[in-house]
Amino acid sequence: MIYDKYMQKCFRLAEKGRGFVSPNPLVGCIVLDKDNNIISKGYHHKYGENHAEREALLKLKNGEENGGTLIVNLEPCSHFGKTPPCVDLIIERKLKRVIIAMQDVNPIVAGNGIKKLKNAGIEVVEHVLEKEAKSLNEVFIKNMVNKTVFIAVKTAVTLDGKISTSNGSSMWITSSKARDKGKLLRKYYDAVLTTSSTVLADNPKFDCKTKILIDRTLKCDFSMQYFKTGNIFVVTSKSDYPKCPKNVTFVYCPEKSGKLDLLYLFEKLYRMNIMSVFVEAGGTLNGELLKLGLIDKIYMFQAPKILGDNNGKSAFEGNSINDINKSFNFEIESIENLSPDILLTLKK
């Protein structure tokens, strides 16, 4: 298709906002003149700031966009939010054509922007690289359609699927290149979630803005380096809270069968406007999330090492399956070479 290459440019522009625009979607925009020359670009930089279309159009002051084409990966908004409707500005600037990858799943917009453009006599071309557009905004779609948190699990394993030896030795399974990639992925999500078992075993820093610690019985010591940075939510079933640092907030979660009720927890996190969670924990929590069907994406860093120990700890534990056809199935989205390791990205 003639517009595919331009839409791919929109995707790359949209990616620049990853980690900054939540709970908004990732959006990039390109404006062409009458001769299909690119005359402006824009993307949504940060939540509360101009949308991609508005940024691109406001860069133009001489009317060169009149009769031209606007290309955007998501249907332009038609309502007042943090900023005015993008549709109104597109109509005002006398664009002839608008190319859209996917319709907005936000019920406030959902087709209304497209309808308004068509009613103004603007040609609208839809579904250009729609599959890729939906993949780009998978978090936003999950939030809007299912009204719940998008959950990604990151793990580092040997070739035989182990995250540590039987006595807990795990540093380091993967190389520094893989670990740096993992740190980058954290920044793409609203919060990084781990457990007291991981913090007590490794005392990680987890350098990120928001952390969620599952500590059912409040075993962790606030003097640990984990608590030195970020805004931290400590999830517990306790009702009596000890004195804590200013950056720590306790979040109550009831128990169910002797464990924290994870379904309750993620519903609560969604109400707290935490739209996506990056889980870095052990096999017990990973296995429970798997069993409950809560995992949307898995980042599996795999090292060319074989432990060969049946008692080594696995990345996903606690599920006894006797029939291979009843396995939990995921689709391989991508394979990235981080020599000597690889990163397998899998989606539900």
Stronger pLDDT, 307 or 196, i.e. the higher one: 196
pLDDT for residue 168: 66
The CATH topology of domain 4-138 is: Cytidine Deaminase; domain 2 (3.40.140)
Indicate the pairing of strand 191-195 with strand 276-279: parallel
Report pLDDT digits (tens) over 257-309.
889 999 999 999 999 999 999 999 999 999 999 999 999 999 999 999 988 87
Domain extents in the chain? 4-138, 144-347
Mean pLDDT over each residue of the chain, to the nearest integer: 92
pLDDT for residue 294: 97
Confirm whether 126 is a catalytic residue: no
pLDDT for residue 100: 97
Q: What is the DSSP string of 115-143?
A: HHHHHTT-EEE--TTHHHHHHHTHHHHHH
pLDDT for residue 64: 87
- Dihedral sign from CA coordinates of 127, 76, 30, 71: positive
CATH number at 144-347: 3.40.430.10
Using pLDDT thresholds of 50, 70 and 90, give the confidence band for residue 179.
Answer: very high
Are 96 and 64 contacting, i.e. CB atoms less than 8 angstroms apart?
no
| Whole-number Å distance between alpha carbons of 159 and 153 | 18
Instruction: Say which of 15, 49, 53, 55 is annotated catalytic.
Output: 53
